[in-house]
Structure 1
Amino acid sequence: MADRVTVIGWDGSPLTDAGRSALAAATLVAGAAHHLELPEVPRDAERIRLGSVDLAARRIARHRGSAVVLADGDPGFFGVVRSLRAPEHGLEVEAVPAVSSVAAAFARAGMPWDDAQVVVAHSRTLRRAVNVCRAHTKVAVLTSPGAGPSELALLLEGVHRTFVICEALGTRAEQVTVVTSDKAGEHTWRDPNVVIVLGGSGPQPQGNPATGWIAGRDPGYPPAVRGWGRPGAAYGADPGPRESAELRAAQLARLGPRVGDLVWDIGSGSGAAAVEAGRFGAAVIAVDADADACARTTAAARRYGIQLQVVHGAAPQVLEDLPEPDVVRVGAGGLPVVAACAARRPERIVAHARTRDEAEAIGRQLAESGYAVECALLQSVELDTTTWAESERTVVFLLSGSRTH
């Protein structure tokens, strides 16, 4: 029985000596249809169309002979190597890599990619891939059927991005197309493809998109500042007592925003919480009924180079058309907004209250909605370090809910 498999990457160029040697000795070859048509595949070898990697791995493990898996690009970079090495298969894997499809895509675009985020989009993970595209100015998306450029564009509605769509890289059918995200759904795209997603509020790539060639400055962020839970003045506006730095830091600690998450920040105020959530790499939609607060949030995001979407409107009504959140900070709106957010089933919700009665009401609502509830009474005191006298005292109930089912 086979306990060893050689995985050969193919990027459209001739196979390496090591790849040809391994393939020539193979008695079983697995790969996509275009891999199995390669002239180097032995005629008498058993052939497996690579759909489910787990099924293929089980057949390889039972095979008596030399097994080879053909894959696009670098099979160790978001490729089949991880699945084949799963403990349940018991396979020892040797990889012969080629140029990864992501490296090839950026090469076609004439752009560096050391500052890019790379994500894989399947139908079950598409939303998280979209959230990375919301939060970052340069993202490579390895797509799959049902989670391609058109589906990306649909979920990015309202967020303008430029797509560099690289189809069938390394084959005679290779094509590179540049379109704005709102136009991507008007085309039919061939698999496999890689989508480079560019844009946001930072510097944009130079060049004429109509040529299909992008070169020049990289989009990106200003140098990151150190620390979080920074004073409200760092965001260009007095946030008021509802947004004390200490409360904000405690809220963010309980939310735990991550890359791939979508954060709702309802009652964004100065924009401090929205910006700090974005600095963790999460996508953020900041909501406020006050147009001035929306302007402050936008200005704070630009100051720190954070990509976020600002929505002007009154919650809970304005929340109905927003994409599904992973975590929610309720900075304003109280019980009705907490109830509306809980109905959308995010993993975590944080809110605050000024009185015990209000805190108990919010806690009951979260518990009845299927959340495990924690509450803490926070007191923060600012001191004038010249005289060490108390300058401001804030007392607030902090509530957090974690979804239990």
Structure 2
Amino acid sequence: MITVVGAGTGSPPADDLLARAELVVGGRRHLDAVPLPETAERVVLGPLEPALDTIAAYDRADRRVVVLASGDPGFFGIVRVLAERFGPGRLQVHPGVSSVAAAFARLGLTWDDAVVVSAHGRDLRTAVHLCRARPKVAVLTGPGAGPAELGAALRSSDRVLVVASALGSPDERVERVSPADAAARDWGTAVSVVLCLDETRALGPVRTVAGGDPAPAGWALPESAFAHRDSMITKFEVRALALARLGPRPGDLVWDVGAGSGSVAVECARFGAAVTAVEKTAEGVEQIRANARVHGVDVHVVHGAAPEALSGLDDPDAVFVGGGGRELPAVVTACAARARRSVVVALAALDRVPAARAALTSAGLDCDGVLLQSSRLAPLPGDVTRLAATNPVFLLWGVRSPARSEGVAQ
């Protein structure tokens, strides 16, 4: 049996578990913090494979093994690796308090409505986009993905970062800083977790299901759900297919270029994606912000004309291009060059379809499309109903195949 003990942020490991150990595996600070039997072999965790091989040798001989880990080792911890190698039935887990639970406890906040994301050994961009989209996020950090890097990526946001270091030790620190302040500091190696908060929404409502906001119960909302000008809004039939091809999800970044009223931007944000809406008119910018507020989502709005306004933005996972005009081929080209997954283009003018399609295929995207023509039920006098046709819209989409994604700007 392999005993896994959570330490660091909660109570110290039980002495009786350690007293019988013949092999103790853990980080140096965990090994140094507890009394160990003089006869026990110690393995300092570095590369996992050598440690796992040593554990396997002791386990085969039915000798007592104790693995020390931080907090709750079943929460983004070593339990997964051990279970994959030895099977869950060989593990006896004694969890401590996770760093996430401890950090929120220090603030007096519940965390059943928090999104937890690990940036340890992973691409930081997922954590960044979740922090942009959600009001309460806990980020498990790692080398090259700590408070400074997270702060630099969120420098323009209104979030507050809470950096919790050395939780459960005499050197414990919990500091509230702005993203800019976090980016300017060297935080060392003692950081346990970083909380990213929108403090205006930190006290969320009572929850039934833990985690971030659930997926919306409905989408392709009616046009009446958005403020818009002179019916200048992507119709819900078009939005439904566009959302299916964009595939917005938590951790993604979506651009809505030529956003107009921001209906596509808001719907993508409702699915949990971080969204940047680019709009050249001042009236449109205000409508996007108003619609985002009404639907309770965060949308970063850029006032400017594409493609020039796109140059300073982070690379998106998916892009929706609305509107038209002579600059459309250049806009689609710029978006297709940087999209990691897909680009969806809505066009009313037949003449612009070939150029938009060429821009998608030239960027190496697999292109497809459809002409959407819908008729809605409309009342007539005499309590009868007719079909009222909406304007036809071309929807093109380009999808980057996995084999081609390596060439996208990172």
Once the two structures are superposed, what CA deviation does each residue of 1:312-363 show, in whole Å capped at 9, x if it has no partner?
A: 0110111110011111111135221110011114211111223444223222
Give me the whole-angstrom Cα distance separating, in 2, the residues matched to 1:183 and 1:241.
41
Partner of 2:322: 331
Shift of 1:156: 1.0
Give me the whole-angstrom Cα distance separating, in 2, the residues matched to 1:396 and 1:13.
59
CA contact (8 A) 1:120 1:141 kept: yes
1:49–1:276: structure 2 CA closer, same or farther, 3 Å change rule?
same
Partner of 2:377: 383
The question of 1:289 aligning with 2:316 is answered: no
1:57–1:223: structure 2 CA closer, same or farther, 3 Å change rule?
closer
Once the two structures are superposed, what CA deviation does each residue of 1:292-328 show, in whole Å capped at 9, x if it has no partner?
A: 1111010011111101211101101111100111111
- Secondary structure in structure 1 of the residue aligned to 2:310: helix
Equivalent of residue 367 in structure 2, options 367, 373, 391: 373
Shift of 1:55: 4.2
Stretches of structure 1 that go unaligned for 5 or more consecutive residues are 206-216
Partner of 2:197: 198
Larger deviation, residues 100-109 vs 29-38: 29-38
The question of 1:29 aligning with 2:27 is answered: no
Give me the whole-angstrom Cα distance separating, in 2, the residues matched to 1:309 and 1:78.
30
Partner of 1:313: 304
Partner of 2:393: 396
CA contact (8 A) 2:9 2:99 kept: no
Larger deviation, residues 238-247 vs 123-132: 238-247
Counterpart AA for 1:36: L
Give me the whole-angstrom Cα distance separating, in 2, the residues matched to 1:345 and 1:270.
22
Give me the whole-angstrom Cα distance separating, in 2, the residues matched to 1:140 and 1:375.
40
Give me the whole-angstrom Cα distance separating, in 2, the residues matched to 1:320 and 1:76.
42
Shift of 1:223: 11
Shift of 1:219: 8.6
Structure 2 length normalisation: TM-score?
A: 0.88
The question of 1:147 aligning with 2:145 is answered: yes
Give me the whole-angstrom Cα distance separating, in 2, the residues matched to 1:309 and 1:149.
22
Give me the whole-angstrom Cα distance separating, in 2, the residues matched to 1:392 and 1:403.
34
Give me the whole-angstrom Cα distance separating, in 2, the residues matched to 1:297 and 1:58.
56
- Secondary structure in structure 1 of the residue aligned to 2:84: coil
Partner of 1:69: 67
Shift of 1:116: 0.8
1:370–1:43: structure 2 CA closer, same or farther, 3 Å change rule?
farther
1:1-400 paired onto structure 2 within 5 Å: 4-15=1-12, 17=14, 20-63=15-58, 64=61, 65-86=63-84, 92-122=90-120, 124-190=122-188, 191-199=190-198, 203-204=200-201, 217-218=203-204, 226-238=217-229, 240=231, 243-333=234-324, 334-386=328-380, 387-400=384-397
Give me the whole-angstrom Cα distance separating, in 1, the residues matched to 2:214 and 2:122.
34
Give me the whole-angstrom Cα distance separating, in 2, the residues matched to 1:397 and 1:29.
64
Q: State the superposition RMSD in angstroms.
A: 2.4
Stretches of structure 2 that go unaligned for 5 or more consecutive residues are 207-211, 405-410
Once the two structures are superposed, what CA deviation does each residue of 1:123-176 show, in whole Å capped at 9, x if it has no partner?
A: 532110010000001111111121111100111121121111111000111011
1:6–1:180: structure 2 CA closer, same or farther, 3 Å change rule?
same
1:374–1:222: structure 2 CA closer, same or farther, 3 Å change rule?
closer
CA contact (8 A) 1:61 1:90 kept: no
CA contact (8 A) 1:199 1:219 kept: no
Shift of 1:40: 2.6
Shift of 1:77: 1.0
Partner of 2:408: none
Instruction: Among all aligned residue pairs of Structure 1 and Structure 2, give the percentage whose two residues are the same amino acid.
Output: 44
Shift of 1:61: 1.9
Give me the whole-angstrom Cα distance separating, in 2, the residues matched to 1:244 and 1:375.
17
- Secondary structure in structure 2 of the residue aligned to 1:321: coil
